[in-house]
Amino acid sequence: MVEFNVHNHQAIAARLRQQDEADAVRITVHCHQEMVEEDISLDDVREILLNATIMESYPEHKRGPCCLSCGKTLRGRYVHVVCTTAFELTIIITVYEPKPPKWADPFKRGKLE
């Protein structure tokens, strides 16, 4: 890991953009499976990294600091991206389309029954 403020959402977004532009992005096998199942392309994921809104930061996650970001694809679809925030590479852990009941809208958690 590198020295980095994993609490600052603006700094996280800037780092994700920088790493995307440097082609320093990798995806996990789980992420690839989710991309196939939800028809989310690598171009979609990279577009979101360039324009992401950081919704939540998990600096103390057991596998290392990561975040939940949300963005809109070029096709106008909102997608959530969960990725690392403090490594030399951005590792995309998972991606999915936020849907009820877990999500009331792309930026607000819903109520689980």
- Domain spans of the chain, in order of start: 9-109
Percent of the chain with pLDDT strictly greater than 70:
94
Tell me the whole-structure pTM to 2 decimals: 0.90
Of the candidates 55, 103, 108, 105, the one whose C-alpha atom is nearest the C-alpha of residue 83 is 55
pLDDT recorded at residue 7: 75
Amino acid at 86: A
| Angle, CA 13 vertex, CA 8 and CA 14 arms, to 5° | 100
Stretch 70-87: mean pLDDT: 93
| CATH number corresponding to 9-109 | 3.30.2310.40
